[in-house]
Amino acid sequence: MTHQPYTRRRQHLLTTLADGVAIIPTAPERIRNRDAHYPYRFDSYFWYLSGFPEPDAVIVLVGGTNPREILFCREKNEERETWDGFRYGPETACHAFGFSEAHPIASLEQMLPDLLANRRSLWHSLGHDADWDQRIAQALNTVRSRNRDGTRAPGEIRDLRGVLDHMRLSKDDHEIDIMRHAADIASAGHACAMRACRPGMAEYELEAELAYEFRRRGADGHAYTPIVAGGANACILHYVDNNKLLAAHSLVLIDAGCEVGGYASDITRTFPVSGRFNPVQREVYEIVLAAQQAAIAAVRPGASFTDYHQAALRVLSQGLIDLKVITGSVDGALESEAYKPWYMHRTGHWLGLDVHDVGDYRTGSADDDWVRLAPGMALTVEPGLYFRPGAQVPKALHGVAVRIEDDVFVSADGCTVYTSAPRTIAEIEEVMRHD
């Protein structure tokens, strides 16, 4: 493992802190029920700055002329390691993760007031975790109580997330490599589900195909709860029951991505359970695919974050007119939002360590102040159309729901789509042929 990307990020952050101190704890372990834990997942900010996988760890960065990069972590413990597995311990962790010093986590409370003393500002994620807010308030009070010795407490409490979110919005080469890997595995998982699909199977059988392929190829697992929605279930945007049977005449929508090295991929594919699109399914699919292509063409440096959504809306609105779902002109539909009952979400989001990754979408509150795209940003492009059974649409559309979602990096002159699961009707029907 190389600690260089993480060291680089810490050093960049230190330049912003100036004479301040930043405190970045990782996530706690969480109980699921009685003494069973949820699988452990580190905090994304902590991971971004360290690559250190253990719970009970905190980074403290001290800025100024003698910067310090300090890791607090669990000590070695033969008995606990026998039960729960390897622990680095401060000494080994310090070298392996490129910190300037490391200490047992148990000494944090006692060391924190000294680390804060006479610093101008304290940076942390205010309000993220009530326990941490409390611990930090206590440490500040301890520093304030030394006021008569001439010790000053930081006068400024700053939210670290503004700085870190901005850094995380543009992916560095190390992140891009990992995200490509996550995308490759997720693409393979979707292709497996297509190949395995047969009428009468349960949605969870396709979920199992994805999970198997993700793990078989070394991903840590799903990046978020997967959606495997047959027919009209796909009209429920966050359907996660995944327990119904797949009817031969219906489509199935799968929204699933894996996590690799902390990074999410996020892919949606919609395909016919039978392996062949019927004419209505084909018509709707082609509209959504054309909307996705128009949106992808609108992702380029300098474009605003909303441009690609607008590009998708234009194609979807024309499609809804062609399908006789709405009447009037495209401009009229955009103005009145007539598309909204059938397309109610936005066309994408930032992607990274979190599936809905951090980073501002707007720089202020005016209509035209959406963030401008720049090379290195990663985002999803995921238009869809959803026709609920019983909706006021031609009957043949009832229960037809399609979303197509891919992941892209903004490049120097446009964008690179780096997910590769079968996407066109021809590609899907080819991979699903069972002869």
Check if 35 is active-site.
yes
**How many residues would you count in the chain?**
435
Q: Considering only residues 355, 381, 385, 400, which one is a binding residue for ligand GLY as defined by CB under 6 A?
A: 355
Q: Which residue is nearest to ligand GLY (CB)?
A: 255
The residue (of 24 and 351) whose beta carbon lies closer to Mn ion is 351
> Which of 54, 175, 203, 266 touches Mn ion by CB under 5 A?
266
- Write the interaction track for ligand GLY spanning residues 87-116; mark x where CB under 6 A is met and - where it is not: ------------------------------
Q: Which is nearer to Mn ion, 246 or 351 (CB)?
A: 351
Q: At 158, give phi and psi (nearest 5°).
A: -115, 145
Q: Does 406 bind Mn ion (CB under 5 A)?
A: no
- Among Mn ion, ligand GLY, none, what binds residue 224 when CB lies within 5 to 8 Å by partner kind? ligand GLY
Contacts for 206-215: CB closer than 8 Å, 24+ residues apart? 206/246, 206/252, 206/254, 207/242, 207/256, 210/254, 210/256, 213/185, 213/188, 213/189, 214/185, 214/186, 214/189, 214/258
Among residues 69, 405, 406, 407, which one is catalytic?
405
d(CA 350, CA 305): 10
Q: How many residues bind Mn ion, per CB under 5 A?
A: 4
Q: Which residues pair with 362 in a beta bridge?
A: 370
Of the candidates 138, 129, 134, 131, the residue with the CA atom closest to the CA atom of residue 160: 129
Cβ–Cβ under 8 Å, residues 288 and 316: yes
Q: What is the number of alpha carbons within 13 Å of residue 328 lying toward its C-beta?
A: 12
407 interacts with ligand GLY by CB under 6 A:
no
Active site residue 382: yes
For residue 251, which of 182, 308, 289, 194 has the smallest C-alpha distance? 194
Q: What residue spans of 24-156 are helical by DSSP H?
A: 44-50, 78-84, 89-96, 108-116, 130-144
Nearest Cα to 400, choosing from 236, 250, 226, 244? 250
CA distance 154 to 68: 17
Query: Which of 211, 380, 400, 418 touches Mn ion (CB under 5 A)?
Result: 380
Among ligand GLY, Mn ion, none, the one that 406 touches (CB under a kind-dependent 5 to 8 A) is: none
**1's tokens:** 């493992």
Q: Is 29 annotated as catalytic? A: no
CB nearer to Mn ion: pick between 307 and 405: 405
Residues ≥6 apart with Cβ < 8 Å to 32 = 38
Contacts of 394 (CB under 8 A, 6+ apart): 323, 324, 325
Q: Which of 266, 307, 357, 406 binds ligand GLY (CB under 6 A)?
A: 266
Is there a catalytic annotation at residue 266?
A: yes
Is 79 annotated as catalytic? no
406 part of the interface to ligand GLY, by CB under 6 A: no
Residue of 175, 207, 255, 357 marked active site = 255
Site string for ligand GLY, 211-240 (x = CB under 6 A): -------------x----------------
Nearest approach, Cβ of 1 to ligand GLY (angstroms)? 29
Binding site for Mn ion (CB under 5 A): 255, 266, 380, 405
Binding site for ligand GLY (CB under 6 A): 224, 255, 266, 349, 355, 382, 405
Catalytic residue annotation:
35, 238, 255, 266, 345, 349, 356, 382, 386, 403, 405
